[in-house]
Amino acid sequence: MYDFAYEKPTALAAAVASLAGDMDAKALAGGQTFIPVLKQRLNKPTTVVDLAALGLVGITVTADSVTIGAMTTHGEVALSAAVQKAIPALANLASMIGDWQVRHRGTIGGSLANNDPSACYPSAVLALGATIVTDRRSIAADDYFQGMFTTALEQGEIITKVIFPIPQKAAYQKFRNPASRYAMVGVFVAKTAAGVRVAVTGAAQGGVFRHAAFEAALSANFSPDAIAGIATSADDLNSDIHASAEYRAHLIGVMAKRAVAGT
Amino acid sequence: MNAIFEGIGASVRRKEDLRFLSGRGHYTDDMNRPGQTHCVLKRSDRPHAIITSIDTSAARAAPGVVAVFTHADLDADGVGGVPCGWQIHSKDGSPMVEPGHPVLATGRVRHVGDPVVAVIAETRQQARNAAELLVIDYQDLPAVAHIADAIAPGAALVQEAAAGNTCFDWHIGDKDLVDAAFARATHRVKLDLTNNRLVPNAMEPRAAIGDYDAMSGDYTLITTSQNPHVIRLLMGAFVLHIPEHRLRVLAPDVGGGFGSKIYHYAEEAIVTWAAGKLKRPVKWTADRSEAFMSDAHGRDHASTAEMALDAEGNFLALRVATVANLGAYLSTFAPAVPTYLSATLLAGVYKTPAIYAEVRAIFTNTVPVDAYRGAGRPESTFLLERLLDTIAHDTGIDRIELRRRNFIPTDAFPYQTPVALQYDSGDYVSTLNAALKAADWDGFAARRAEAKARGKLRGIGVSTYVEACGIAPSKLVGALGARAALYEVAQIRVHPTGSVTVFTGTHSHGQGHETTFAQLVASQLGVPFENVDIVHGDTNKIPFGMGTYGSRSLAVGGTAMVKAMDKIIAKGKKIAAHLLEASVDDIEFANGNFTVAGTDRAKSFGEIALTAYVPHNYPIEDIEPGLEETAFYDPANFTFPGGCHVCEVEVDPETGVTTVVNFTAVDDVGRVINPMIVEGQIQGGVAQGIGQALLENAVYDEQGQLVSGSFMDYTMPRADNLPNISVGTETTLCTHNALGVKGCGEVGAIGSPPAVINAVVDALKDYGVRHVNMPATSQKLWQIIQDSSAQPAVANLSSN
């Protein structure tokens, strides 16, 4: 990696100030993407602002929501008895991210701020209609994801927590990229009082997206058979050595069916 | 006591694991020399280009930079190119095209990763910073990466001297005999198949430290090598012109090799030469990205195989044509892999009377290809065992019956094949029977039906194989083009109190030699296991040696130890005869005691050792003091392990995902010294074989960029990709070495890939599938299923 200055502020305002005042300063959450990027010299920040001392950790469950601090690790979410009870699909999703080492460092806030198109968390946030709370505002999931590695966050804006409404039912099915183990196709299905939401990660060039046809069919009839005949267009899906766009389109259907069956 | 619990046949725990498992191994990158500098290589990001200019001025001026070297600096010192250790002759008698392999690219780059400039600085960080300041101008040339593109008419030439990109066009066997057999055959079955290119990916990336002592003029190279003496020979004699007594090569703990650390690499020469130039140590350590683009790759063959059979399914003749991709330059043993290490195995375990094979080796704009675990034998085994199942498919003969019908009979050994090799021993029926029983072959139909009820396609596959290892008789390989000998060396030093140090020319990089060899020596000399120490990996300590590859360490290196021990025992008998006042012919040695035959008069091994070093009462007129012997052992033949692997898979027809649910290996590796280590070696080999069959693939795009250049895209097998692997052995002894050992390092990777693919094809048989090339990825199988559903099943048969 290139040389950079390192800060570890203890107050949120100080962290925001450090990041806002320097376009080339970067926030460090769990570092499970950012540190490898630095080691490969693919990024040259002036200052790395470590968010670990801001107290943004912890899980709070109420009757209708699960709130997760931005610096809470995937491992903590996966192993949380409260999350396992309130939204088991969310704990299950967290348990499928990376390996133990990654899960004990990687954080929900880091994942969402990065918005890797193959990350798992964006599908849960979008399907559950979660709210992303930052140092300055609350952002609805539908407004947050704006394309590959692109979000509604402003320069220097820091996610503090994520609030997940508790659904009636939900499930996540992940088809791993055989090499990287990222989601080659990940489908999160949530049944809520307001209807069914289906979010797909890993598959599309623009990152996570909602599957309108599946949502309509499942809102009418929440069963695997309801979407069995619905083909997903391969347009705008990723194609690489592991999976063509057509294969990904097919897997979206299979993963969605299995998710519904698994709720 | 020790002979019982720690001798031959005991599963002694590996003594080296204490340091390996507690993080206290001592690897090349762990070492640092006073005043050490760091080397970073600027590598080509172009598959094929002319270097029009190199501007090093900014890099030279960067902080901490000690030196920046290009090929011009090497040329000025007369540094030679990286040599090739094996020369093949084409059908017409002409030698292979052997282009230069410059240490730093000279005039042209020929693959992504070709080293161009060496930047040496006080720290690695400074060297990396400076390397980014290099300005290299290239004029891009058309590149070829794939076999089909490289052999197409008018293809761009990778090496100017190699017309048609052909390095050699070689053949073996009797073409006329084969043609005649095909003419009269009842069945002719033909199969086109590829053997996918692999990246070895040893856990420890390569590293090298060069050092120079200006007072003595001695050079030292510490390197991640499987064979330090070979590196000393190749680099000293051909590249840097340093005589052996001035060059010490150390290969300390090495974290896996699988063949990729046999070869002499440019980086070793760069750091050694630069150390002499700068009068300071120079260290280079590859990062994983560099490993992908600079470690020699494995496999990458495309073949057509045809078998002629009579009406009863007896093999009449085999015809094979292979194109082997050797990459941009000739790596150390590259020419031997598709020829003498592969085509000579085309008889397999079958009594095919006539065989003819042609091998065209070609250059491409890719990383050089060389031996990788199995080295040629996995390629021929995959070809044969896929062809066997294809014959069964096309003729309707049961695949097990087809194998039994054509096996070399157990009473036919020694068996001379039509392709040069003479198998000394084997029993293919017993390994087949044992494997089928252990795998419950007969109960498969029920398991298939049960899987079908769960929506899964279950398949079972078998492979029966033999391989040639324990390389090799020097005279024979010399006649076949080897530019080196392949004997092994052992020096046994018995210390005055009877403990023993063994110096071996083989090298352990995960195989457990420190344990296996100690068991061997302890049991032969009758001394406690813990009193035997194994020393390897240092050319200044060990007389000589050819290193570890080709499953040779025990068969060749271990036999050298036996020869040295025989000398120790013979001398000990003379000493004992003197002390016991008996005739030397009456002295027997067993269980650590020299005894006068038929009496209880004895001297222990320790007493004899002490007497040898304190020769107060000693036959000094007849023998010298001391108890230390050296032996060179040149094997009389290859060894021929073989066996049977059975694989059972389930394919998810919705996703195309294959899960290996059962794997059974029953191998004949000759006498087993440590069953636990043998089981581990076979399991590791099978893991790599399953990796090749289902997961691993080095993918180049049309332009010559390595697409699978990191673990993000190169699928290494992981624990959750693997089943529990059941390992059994059925033993016939090697007839030409003292221990009866054959070798176990590669059998797992040789026997398993066709068993896996045969199982996959079996799982998909209702879809009319005749063959699937490796790796059988989920995408590939899903596409096959899709295509089959869209068309009549028979349309998926490849045409003959």
**A251 touching B (Cβ < 8 Å):** yes
HSE on the CB side for A162, CA within 13 Å? 26
A144 vs A135: CA distance, rounded Å:
15
One-letter identity of residue B620: I
One-letter identity of residue B636: A
A190 pLDDT more than 80: yes
List for chain B the helix, strand, coil content (%; round to 5): 35, 25, 45
Answer yes or no: do B715 and A178 touch at CB < 8 A. yes
Question: Where in the sequence of chain B do the CATH 3.30.365.10 domains occur?
Answer: 2-24+487-633, 301-471+637-796
- Predicted confidence band at B789 (pLDDT cuts at 50, 70, 90)? low
B325 pLDDT more than 80: yes
Query: CATH class for domain B301-471+637-796?
Result: alpha beta
Write down the pLDDT at residue B7. Answer: 85
Structure tokens at B544: 């000589």
The counts of H helices and E strands in chain A are: 12, 12
B157 vs A118: CA distance, rounded Å:
40
Closest to A200 (Cα-Cα) out of A177, A219, A221, A175:
A175
B387 pLDDT more than 70: yes
Residues B712-752: pLDDT tens digits? 999 999 999 999 999 999 999 999 999 999 999 999 999 99
Q: Identify the bridge partners of residue A26 per DSSP, sorted by sequence position.
A: A48
Answer yes or no: do A175 and B707 touch at CB < 8 A. no
Please give the share of chain B, as a percent, with pLDDT higher than 90.
97
- In which residue are the tokens 């080295």 written? B375
**pLDDT averaged over chain A?**
97
Residues A6-57: pLDDT tens digits? 999 999 999 999 999 899 999 999 999 999 999 999 999 999 999 999 999 9
Write down the pLDDT at residue B798. Answer: 36
Query: Mean pLDDT throughout B452-457?
Result: 97
Q: What is the DSSP letter of B236?
A: I
Closest to B524 (Cα-Cα) out of B629, B396, B373:
B629
Number of Cβ within 10 Å of residue B323's Cβ equals: 23
For chain B, what is the radius of gyration of the CA atoms? 28
Residues B491-511: pLDDT tens digits? 999 999 999 999 999 999 999
Write down the pLDDT at residue B4. Answer: 41
Structure tokens at B505: 């020319």
**A99 touching B (Cβ < 8 Å):** no
Answer yes or no: do B654 and A254 touch at CB < 8 A. yes
CA dist A100 to A30, A103, A106, B749, Å? 13, 5, 10, 29
Interface subset of A 20-49, CB within 8 angstroms of B = 40-41
- Report chain A residues whose CB lies below 8 A from the CB of B128: 41
**pLDDT averaged over chain B?**
96
- Report chain B residues whose CB lies below 8 A from the CB of A242: 713, 777, 779
B799 pLDDT more than 90: no
Write down the pLDDT at residue A263. Answer: 86
Query: Mean pLDDT throughout A234-262?
Result: 97
DSSP B682-744: HHHHHHHHHIIIII----B-TTS-BSS-STTTS----GGG--PEEEEE-----SSSTT-B---
Answer yes or no: do B655 and A41 touch at CB < 8 A. no
- B483 touches B87 (CB < 8 A): yes
Answer yes or no: do A254 and B777 touch at CB < 8 A. no
Q: Domain A168-263, CATH 1.10.150.240 — does that match?
A: no
Contacts of residues B408-415 at CB distance under 8 Å and 24 or more positions apart, as own/partner, are B408/B347, B408/B349, B408/B350, B408/B351, B409/B351, B412/B351, B414/B735, B415/B351
Closest to A147 (Cα-Cα) out of A116, A170, A187:
A116
Q: Tell which wins on pLDDT, B296 or A262.
A: B296
Write down the pLDDT at residue B800. Answer: 32
- Predicted confidence band at A240 (pLDDT cuts at 50, 70, 90)? very high
Under CATH, which number does the domain B2-24+487-633 receive? 3.30.365.10
- Report chain A residues whose CB lies below 8 A from the CB of B655: 175, 251, 254
Closest to B327 (Cα-Cα) out of B304, B298, B291, B303:
B298
B748 vs B374: CA distance, rounded Å:
9
B794 pLDDT more than 80: no
Determine the angle formed by the axes of helices B513-525 and B559-580, rounding to 10 degrees: 30
Interface test with B, best of A238, A250, A252, A255 (most B CBs within 10 A): A250
- Report chain B residues whose CB lies below 8 A from the CB of A234: none
**B479 touching A (Cβ < 8 Å):** no
B795 pLDDT more than 90: no
Closest to A24 (Cα-Cα) out of A148, A155, A147:
A155
B408 vs B432: CA distance, rounded Å:
13
B797 pLDDT more than 90: no
B711 pLDDT more than 60: yes
- Report chain A residues whose CB lies below 8 A from the CB of B697: 241
- B123 touches B39 (CB < 8 A): no
Number of Cβ within 10 Å of residue B606's Cβ equals: 18
- CA-based nearest distance B684→chain A, Å: 19
Write down the pLDDT at residue B286. Answer: 98
Write down the pLDDT at residue B3. Answer: 39
User: What is the SS3 assignment for A85-107?
Assistant: HHCHHHHHHHHCCCCHHHHCCCE
Q: What is the DSSP letter of A145?
A: B
Q: Is the peptide bond before B775 cis (omega within 30 degrees of 0)?
A: yes
B126 vs B136: CA distance, rounded Å:
19
Query: Mean pLDDT throughout B124-149?
Result: 98
Residues B611-653: pLDDT tens digits? 999 999 999 999 999 999 999 999 999 999 999 999 999 999 9
Query: CATH class for domain A5-50?
Result: alpha beta
B659 vs B246: CA distance, rounded Å:
54
B796 pLDDT more than 50: no
- CA-based nearest distance B168→chain A, Å: 32
Q: Which 3 state secondary structure label does DSSP give B7? A: coil
B741 vs B518: CA distance, rounded Å:
16
Residues B177-187: pLDDT tens digits? 999 999 999 99
Query: Mean pLDDT throughout B348-369?
Result: 98
- Predicted confidence band at B6 (pLDDT cuts at 50, 70, 90)? low
Q: Identify the bridge partners of residue B207 per DSSP, sorted by sequence position.
A: B285
List the domain boundaries for chain A. Answer: 5-50, 168-263
**B289 touching A (Cβ < 8 Å):** yes
A87 pLDDT more than 60: yes
One-letter identity of residue B670: G
**B106 touching A (Cβ < 8 Å):** no
B539 vs B552: CA distance, rounded Å:
19
B301 vs B611: CA distance, rounded Å:
60
- Predicted confidence band at B281 (pLDDT cuts at 50, 70, 90)? very high
Under CATH, which number does the domain B31-141+203-256+261-294 receive? 3.90.1170.50
